[in-house]
């Protein structure tokens, strides 16, 4: 069970809606980076990797929880690939995955030393981000087809870099805690290893690479669920900064949408809602290997 599964539960939806204040759903923002391919999910995952590379370069204090792509090796080494898979072929695949991840880690260390990376360097960053993004589907969905090691086109690299160029300066100027894909102690295990996209200073940010900048109810419920997990983890002594804002970053529009956390945490019903959600999460939780929300990277109609 993931956070996405949790927030589709009817009881959880009703609980969350008790503490979510009203907001404008339609933002009516101009699109700054249009989708140039039918690879929207791949681009979204690659942008997440590229953003993390840059955040670590610009914010030396950033703490990384590891890459989903690195966990792809667990799928292979622990035998979670489809039944009947050829062990020799699986071993070859594992070696290719390991080499790709190792290459990306070497590049990342070099990237952290760059003061002003030039265009050619950033194109290498985009290529590594796309290569890692392709591996995510091996961990999340057990996919091991031809797309896993496909070459990245110039158009794909350029789209990732265009999205990166739109990121507001305020995301890169965190002076306090910067947590990349933060987890929430024992509470993450209750919801399938839940991890958010980013915490910087006192802001919890979820990244959306979508064509329409609509603040959908499910997006806000997911943010509030993360806020509840972060609040519980901090109360238990986890290294988690206090959250003052929950935000959606619409990457194709370069826009940060914000809601004050106090409007939720100080709601008279908050304590009851928190207890209820944790009870449902524990009841729904069952051990499984694929804890992170499944995301398809195969060609699909852009959204």
Concatenated DSSP letters for the chain?
--HHHHTTSHHHHHHHHHHPPP--SB-----SS---SS-HHHHHHHHHHHHHHHHHHH-TT-EE---HHHHHHHHHHTT-SPTT--HHHHHHHHHHHHHHHHHHHHHHHHHTT-SS--HHHHHHHHHHHHHHHHHHHHHHH---SGGGGPPPPHHHHHHHHHHHHTS-GGGG---S-EEES-B-THHHHHTTS-B-SEEETTEEEEEE--SS-B--HHHHHHHHHHHHHHHHHHHTT-S-PPP-EEEEEETTTTEEEEEETHHHHTSTTHHHHHHHHHHHHHHH----S--SPP---S-----
Average the pLDDT over 293-301 and give the result. 40
Length of the chain: 303
For residues 142 and 283, which has the higher predicted lDDT (pLDDT)?
283
Per-residue pLDDT tens digits for 91-122:
888 899 999 999 999 999 999 999 999 999 99
Report the candidate in 188, 93, 101, 95 with the shortest Cα–Cα distance to residue 142. Answer: 93
pLDDT at 183 over 50: yes
Q: How confident is the model at residue 11 (pLDDT cuts 50, 70, 90)?
A: very high
Average pLDDT, the chain: 88
pLDDT at 165 over 70: yes
Q: How confident is the model at residue 138 (pLDDT cuts 50, 70, 90)?
A: confident
pLDDT given at position 302: 41
For residues 218 and 300, which has the higher predicted lDDT (pLDDT)?
218
pLDDT given at position 289: 39
This prediction has a pTM of: 0.87
- For 251, phi and psi rounded to 5 degrees? -65, -35
pLDDT at 269 over 90: yes
Mean pLDDT lowest for which of 34-48, 73-87, 215-229, 261-275?
73-87
Average the pLDDT over 255-263 and give the result. 98
């Amino acid at each position: 069970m993931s956070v996405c599964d949790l927030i589709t539960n009817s009881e959880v939806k009703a609980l969350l809606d008790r503490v979510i204040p009203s907001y404008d759903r339609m933002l009516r923002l101009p699109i700054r980076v249009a989708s140039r391919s039918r690879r929207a999910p791949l681009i979204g995952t690659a942008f997440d990797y590229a953003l993390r590379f840059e955040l670590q370069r610009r914010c030396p204090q950033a703490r990384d929880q590891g890459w989903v792509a690195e966990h792809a090796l667990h799928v292979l080494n622990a035998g979670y690939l489809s039944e009947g898979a050829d062990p020799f072929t699986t071993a070859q695949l594992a070696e290719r995955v390991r080499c790709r991840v190792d290459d990306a880690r070497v590049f990342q260390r070099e990237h952290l030393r760059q003061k002003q990376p030039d265009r050619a360097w950033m194109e290498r960053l985009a290529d590594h981000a796309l290569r890692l993004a392709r591996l995510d589907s091996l961990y999340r969905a057990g996919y091991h087809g031809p797309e896993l090691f496909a070459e990245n086109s110039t158009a794909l690299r350029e789209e990732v870099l265009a999205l990166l160029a739109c990121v507001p300066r305020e995301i890169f100027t965190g002076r306090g805690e910067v947590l990349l894909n933060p987890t929430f102690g024992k509470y993450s295990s209750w919801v399938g290893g839940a991890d958010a996209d980013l915490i910087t200073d006192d802001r919890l940010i979820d990244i959306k690479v979508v064509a329409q900048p609509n603040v959908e109810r499910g997006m806000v419920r997911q943010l509030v669920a993360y806020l509840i997990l972060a609040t519980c983890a901090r109360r238990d002594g986890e290294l988690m900064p206090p959250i003052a804002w929950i935000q959606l970053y619409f990457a194709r529009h370069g826009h940060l949408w914000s809601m004050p956390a106090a409007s939720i945490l100080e709601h008279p019903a908050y304590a009851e809602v928190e207890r209820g959600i944790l009870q449902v999460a524990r009841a729904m939780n069952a051990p499984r290997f694929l804890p992170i929300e499944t995301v398809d990277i195969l060609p699909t109609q852009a959204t």
